[in-house]
Structure 1
Amino acid sequence: MSRIAVMGSAFNPPSLGHKDVVEQALKHCDQVWLVPAFRHAWGKSMAPYPQRCEMVKQFVEDIADPRVSLCAIEHEIASDKPVYSFDLLAALQTRIQPDDQLLLVIGPDNAAAFDKFYRASDIRQRWQLLVVKERISVRSTKIRTALQQHKSITGMTTPSVADFLATHPVYGGTTL
């Protein structure tokens, strides 16, 4: 039996805050699957999906732990509507072994508002929640703002993601 942490996020771009969440999840699970949102449930504007998937791929390579992987599935289950956590977990459930266990990774802000999630009670009945702490307050917004202002993003994301952003002006500016 494997315990698989499912970490859905915009990853717009991946940050060291995301990396800390991965490290926390690895203490409780055998694997961590990073799932970039195809269409955000709350309508957030995001960089194109293929670019965010590439950044997550680079992020995973920097983490260099075989238990962490990119799981680019949302484009397969998305239609014209957002993919909700319930839909994601249901789709992933069909792709794992019957005795494997999925855990939805959420932070304290989502834990406090979890009852507002689409089919929250169904999620609680079928899967487990893994609530992590926000120990590093480096958010994607901070990286995007720094790039737009041509400021350094050193110490905000992993080296390969920073290199990708330096050569792909996804957010309107580049500075390492």
Structure 2
Amino acid sequence: MSSRELALFGTSADPPTEGHQALLLGLAERYGQVAAWASDNPFKQHGAPLELRAQLLGTLIESLGNDQVQLAQDLSSPKAIETLDRAARRWPDRQLVFVVGGDLAAQIPSWYRAADLLQRCRLTVVPRQGHPMATGALEKLRDLGAQVELLELPVPATASSAIRGGQENSSIPEVLWPELLKHNLYGLTSKLAP
């Protein structure tokens, strides 16, 4: 771990899960500092507005009690290159490490100015349990000039999409339930709360 490294992790946080919690703590252990934000991924449909997802992610981060992990919502942009520009201005002396889940690795080459992004930062791909990475995804990223690190972290096989779809709610961190119920999100009711 280098004290100059800063992990950048954008997530839909729709809603944040115990998987996000484990990932953030694992990134802090590996890189020392983590800046996270809720994002509007133009390739996804979202179940809650960005402002509310950012609030949920902030609540989750605060509950971690770890000063190495911070909400940096001002980095959020639908274009990853803009996020990277904002981070580089904010932390000019840090080595920026852009972090994505393995399920997004194959999508990156289609991102706006993907080659520029990949040549200006390191890329860490964290495989997701139950979501296999597309064959050849890492090779395609390397062909675009990416310095790719595959980082295996003990992240539970959780999926926000399963919560949005009503199939699962046990992976919702307890600290988020009050806000989820207050805003009547994802069809959750107090009967389902822990």
Please report the TM-score for the alignment, with normalisation by the length of structure 1.
0.82
Q: How big is the shift at 1:173?
A: 3.0
Counterpart for residue 161 of structure 2: 141
Alignment of 1:69-80 (within 5 A): 69-74=70-75
Alignment of 1:54-69 (within 5 A): 54-69=55-70
Counterpart for residue 84 of structure 1: 79
Q: Does 1:161 align with 2:168?
A: no
The secondary structure found in structure 2 opposite 1:89 is: helix
Runs (4+) of structure 1 exceeding 6 A deviation are none
Counterpart for residue 115 of structure 2: 121
CA shift digits 1:118-172 (9 cap, x unpaired): 22211221101111122422111122233xx7x7x23x02211123213321223
Bigger shift: 12-21 or 110-119? 110-119
**Aligned counterparts of 2:44 and 2:104: Cα–Cα separation in 1:** 16
Unmatched segments (≥5 aa) in structure 1: none
Counterpart for residue 95 of structure 1: 90
Please report the TM-score for the alignment, with normalisation by the length of structure 2.
0.75
Q: How big is the shift at 1:88?
A: 0.7
CA shift digits 1:24-81 (9 cap, x unpaired): 31232121111111x3321523311221111111101222211111111156xx5xxx
Aligned-partner residue type, residue 128 of structure 1: R
Q: Which residue of 7, 10, 13 maps to 2:9?
A: 7
**Aligned counterparts of 1:113 and 1:57: Cα–Cα separation in 2:** 26
Alignment of 1:38-53 (within 5 A): 39-53=40-54
Summarize the Cα distance change of 1:47–1:160 in structure 2 as closer, same or farther, 3 Å threshold. Answer: same
Q: How big is the shift at 1:105?
A: 0.5
Counterpart contact for 1:14–1:59, Cα < 8 Å:
yes
Unmatched segments (≥5 aa) in structure 2: 129-154
**Aligned counterparts of 2:116 and 2:81: Cα–Cα separation in 1:** 8
Counterpart contact for 2:75–2:87, Cα < 8 Å:
no
Q: How big is the shift at 1:2?
A: 2.6
Summarize the Cα distance change of 1:133–1:23 in structure 2 as closer, same or farther, 3 Å threshold. Answer: farther
Counterpart contact for 1:21–1:133, Cα < 8 Å:
no
Higher relative contact order (CA 8 A, sep 6+): 1
Percent identity of the aligned residues? 26
Counterpart contact for 1:104–1:127, Cα < 8 Å:
yes
Counterpart contact for 2:103–2:127, Cα < 8 Å:
no
